[in-house]
């Protein structure tokens, strides 16, 4: 049985250990500085006004595969095209930088609700914006946790559009390994793997999106930074500002 002195010493040790462990956590700025370096540097990304990713999409739980294309243009235009073949059709999303929309196979394009649109537009900014933690309304480093089999710094962030998200950055390399978006409909988890260098800049080439039904695996084969066709970002028929 502990004496009063032993109990006091044990409590003091626990408090000291807790404070020490917390003190070892880096700041959000330090995490993002290491992330920026790992990704090729802020200066390199600041020169990017357009980006294109091309690869494949595998909806594992439905045994459906198709092609994947995602395009970006400054300041926050984007277009996503997942073509699942003539029997199913295309999943599409896009924005002209002001209006964000989505279309399911066989359906008409529709504007995203204002809250969803704000979040999508915020996350589609080109250049080095994604390496700047000041884009968040709030952010903090809260722990070191294993994520996807590696030790990561766990960050809690709130976007300026009001969405709460958990971010994971690998301790050893600084690369972002995943995120969990917290929404009422259920957490949306993404895992980033297999980083490769494209024109001096790093990009994940395997993106696993997890939802209640199962995994959707995006495999990126090429990433380019040349100017994209402006027509890609035009609003589809039936969508207006």
pLDDT at 18: 40
Tell me the pLDDT band of 237, cut-offs 50, 70 and 90: confident
Cα 161 vs. chain centroid, distance in angstroms?
15
Phi-psi label, residue 149: left if phi above 0, alpha if psi -120 to 50, beta otherwise: left
Q: 16 falls in which pLDDT band (50, 70, 90)?
A: very low
Question: For 49-73, what is each residue's pLDDT tens digit?
Answer: 999 999 999 999 999 999 999 999 9
At 121, which helix (H) or strand (E)?
Answer: helix 114-122
Q: What percent of the chain has pLDDT over 70?
A: 90
Instruction: Give the ranges where 24-73 is alpha helix by DSSP (H).
Output: 28-38, 42-46
Q: Which pLDDT belongs to residue 8?
A: 37
213 pLDDT higher than 90 = no
pLDDT of residue 30: 98
> What single string gives the DSSP state of each residue in 188-206?
EEEEEEEEEEETTEEEEEE
What percent of the chain is modeled with pLDDT above 90?
82
* Confidence at residue 14, expressed as pLDDT on a 0 to 100 scale: 43
Within 13 A of 84's CA, how many CA atoms are on the CB side?
A: 18
User: Could you tell me which residues come within 8 angstroms of residue 103 by beta carbon, excluding any fewer than 6 positions away?
Assistant: 90, 91, 92, 93, 109, 110, 236
- Quick one: tokens of 183? 């929404």
- List, for residues 33-44, the tens digit of each pLDDT value: 999 999 999 999
The architecture that CATH gives domain 27-226 is Clam (2.50)
Per-residue confidence (pLDDT) for residue 239, from 0 to 100: 85
Give the pLDDT confidence score for residue 15 in this predicted structure. Answer: 41
Average pLDDT, the chain: 90
Average pLDDT over residues 160-186: 94
How much is the average pLDDT of 24-29? 96
CA distance 71 to 121: 13
**For position 9, what pLDDT does the model report?**
38
d(CA 33, CA 116): 28
* pLDDT tens for each residue of 83-120: 999 999 999 999 999 999 999 998 889 999 999 999 99
**For residue 170, what pLDDT band results from cuts at 50, 70 and 90?**
very high
**Res 46 pLDDT > 60:** yes
Residue 215's alpha-carbon distances to 44, 46, 50, 62, in angstroms, are 32, 32, 28, 10
The answer on pLDDT for 4 being more than 70 is no
Name 89's Cβ contacts closer than 8 Å, sequence gap at least 6: 83, 105, 106
Q: Which residue's entry shows tokens 């301790």?
A: 171
Confidence of residue 176 (pLDDT cuts 50, 70, 90): very high
């Amino acid at each position: 049985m502990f004496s009063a002195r032993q109990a006091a010493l044990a409590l003091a040790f626990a408090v000291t250990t807790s404070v020490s462990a917390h003190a070892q956590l880096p700041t959000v700025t330090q995490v993002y500085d290491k992330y920026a370096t790992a990704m090729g540097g802020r200066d390199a990304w600041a020169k990017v006004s357009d980006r294109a990713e091309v690869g494949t999409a595998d909806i594992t739980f439905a045994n459906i595969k198709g092609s994947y294309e995602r395009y970006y243009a400054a300041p926050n235009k984007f277009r996503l095209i997942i073509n699942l073949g003539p029997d199913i059709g295309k999943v599409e999303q896009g924005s002209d930088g002001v209006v964000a929309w989505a279309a399911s196979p066989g359906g008409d394009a529709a504007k995203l609700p204002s809250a969803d649109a704000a979040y999508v537009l915020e996350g589609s900014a080109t250049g080095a914006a994604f390496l700047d933690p000041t884009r968040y309304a709030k952010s903090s480093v809260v722990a070191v946790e294993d994520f996807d089999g590696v030790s990561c710094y766990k960050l809690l962030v709130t976007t300026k559009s009001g969405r709460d998200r958990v971010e994971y950055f690998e301790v050893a390399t600084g690369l972002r390994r995943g995120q969990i978006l917290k929404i009422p409909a259920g957490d949306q988890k993404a895992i980033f793997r297999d980083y490769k260098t494209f024109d001096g800049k790093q990009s994940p080439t395997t993106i696993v999106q997890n939802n209640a039904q199962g995994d959707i695996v995006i495999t990126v084969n090429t990433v380019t930074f040349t100017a994209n066709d402006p027509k890609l970002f035009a609003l589809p028929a039936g969508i207006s500002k």
